[in-house]
Homo-oligomer: A and B are copies of this chain.
Amino acid sequence: MTYNKISADVLSQINAIVGAENVLSIPAAMEIYSHDETEDLVYYPEVVVKPKYTEEVAALMALCHEHLIPVTPRGAGTGLAGGALAVNGGLMISMERFNQILEIDEQNLQATVEPGVITETFIEAVAEKGLLYPVDPASKGSCFIGGNVANCSGGPRVVKYGTIREYVLNMEVVLPTGEVIWTGANTLKYASGYNLTQLLIGSEGTLGIVTKIVTKLIPKPTFDALMLASFTSNEDACAAVSAIFRAGVVPSALEFMERRGMEWVIKYDGINFELKDGIEAFLLIEADGSNQDVVFADCEKINEVLEQYNCQDVLFADSSAQKEELWRIRRTMAVSVKSNSVYKEEDTVVPRAALPKLINGIKEIGSKYGFESVCYGHAGDGNLHVNIIKAGMSDNDWNNNLTNGITEIFELTVSLGGTLSGEHGIGLVQKGYMPLKYTPVHFAIWKGIKAVFDPNGILNPGKIF
């Protein structure tokens, strides 16, 4: 695809659409838009624009469609796969001014929200009404709900409450041609033609720009309990995960963390936690519900299972403050690992009983290639984030040989029935690995779908495939 640069004429039209005060074109002003949370990648757009209304987004898209200017939609820039990087320059449309919760409909347990609302802001707003929106990625304090939709983001509570797919009912979307549609209806069930809502979720901003989101809400559980269990081996901890479900309990979170992740959290985040010798892995387990006795009974059942898997200690959080402290360990782990070393983060997902094989295999691959790894993630979903640490690898090996090691990790993931990404998306940095799982037939279908929505290929080009 050959794209055009943004000419002075086009820039003046952009200014006319949104007002010059919402247009940035000097590199210094665009620095924060030149990267996301993916390693050290930097790509500057030519122009950043901050529309406020759907009609403005539509006018911008129509203009870029006409002039063959690449467009990169942008949420909060917290992505981990480079999906919001302007790899072809062009226009970046930042959705940060789409920051309104338009309605919380307590009659229908639905909300209508703009994509630039911070996820945690939305969660707190509905919680005030006694309602739960359970999609809470680790970055919930800074990520946008629109970015969550684009990446099919998860978080710890997916294991009980389901992914964002189960909460987004309908969306207003600006298509790459500038046309505006609602993808579906504000209903809990839908069997009326190909489901465009579901197709757009996880499409990483390549098929349209979401401008309104209608979500389902559910009654908020009134009790929860949180426990941290420690193990002398990763394998025991991972094996306990599927046993908990087989015992008939569905926890509201079931997170795995390796010892080294915990060490780095203690070192970089100032958490006060005594790490005992011999402990190699942790499970952070939450149960919730509307009845305290039942929540405690669930915890007891979980505890019985943990004992069968050589669990060493179980720490029950006995206050809100302690719960928050334990959650902070899990949430800051990515940042702590990042502080410590040159690293690359890969997002693997397998059927949950395959976790022990996956984690053992990752360590073996690390030995072969000379890298270390810190693994943690949403073990209840079989979703393991693999942080590859440069450690003793030479720069040459890191730069030239590591992709072979990552390839082996993904080959293992696929052989276990899994796939490349459970919740981070493919974006820019994972697309080279896609042929490990998908055939030319898949690529042909994906590209065909892309061309239906975006005949000129201007929207977020170079992502996914």
Contact = CB atoms under 8 A, between A and B. Distances in A.
21 contacts: A106-B246, A108-B242, A108-B353, A109-B242, A152-B189, A158-B188, A181-B439, A187-B349, A187-B417, A187-B422, A189-B423, A190-B349, A191-B425, A192-B420, A194-B199, A194-B445, A194-B449, A194-B464, A196-B442, A289-B294, A294-B294
A161 B298 CA distance: 19
A381 interface: yes
Nearest to A439: B181
Interface stretch (A34-42, A162-170, A224-232, A366-374): A162-170
A185 B418 contact: yes
Contact of A198 (B106, B165, B293, B451): B165
Interface in A84-131: 105-110, 130
A414 to B, nearest CB: 8
Contact of A166 (B162, B298, B383, B446): B162
DSSP class of A's interface residues: helix, strand, loop or mixed? loop
A350 B108 CA distance: 10
Given A166-B166, A181-B441, A249-B219, A194 B188 contact: no
A213 interface: no
Interface string A389-426: 00000000000000000000000001001111111111
A446 to B, nearest CB: 5
Contacts of A425: 191
10 closest Cβ pairs, A-B complex: A448-B452, A185-B419, A189-B422, A107-B353, A198-B198, A186-B417, A108-B351, A219-B248, A152-B191, A188-B381
Interface in A140-159: 151-154, 158-159
Contact of A189 (B158, B354, B453): B158
B426 A192 contact: yes
B218 A250 contact: yes
B250 A219 contact: yes
A417 B166 contact: no
Contact of A192 (B199, B246, B437, B449): B437
A330 interface: no
Nearest to A198: B198
Nearest to A197: B198
A239 to B, nearest CB: 10
A202 interface: yes
Contacts of A162: 162, 166
A304 interface: no
Copies of chain A in the complex: 2
A203 interface: yes
Contacts of A195: 152, 165, 198-199, 201-202
A193 B353 contact: no
B186 A107 contact: no
Contact of A351 (B110, B163, B181, B381): B110
Contact of A438 (B193, B451, B452): B193
A248 B449 CA distance: 41
Contacts of A219: 245, 248-250
Given A188-B383, A445-B452, 16 more contacts: A107-B351, A152-B190, A165-B198, A185-B414, A185-B419, A186-B418, A188-B382, A190-B349, A191-B422, A193-B442, A194-B202, A195-B199, A196-B442, A198-B201, A219-B248, A448-B449
Interface residues of A, number: 93
A240 to B, nearest CB: 13
Nearest to A381: B188
A262 interface: no
A12 interface: no
Given A188-B158, A291-B297, A464 B107 contact: no
A144 to B, nearest CB: 16
A191 B294 contact: no
A308 to B, nearest CB: 15
A198 B195 CA distance: 8
Contacts of A201: 195, 198
Nearest to A414: B185
Contacts of A199: 194-195, 198-199
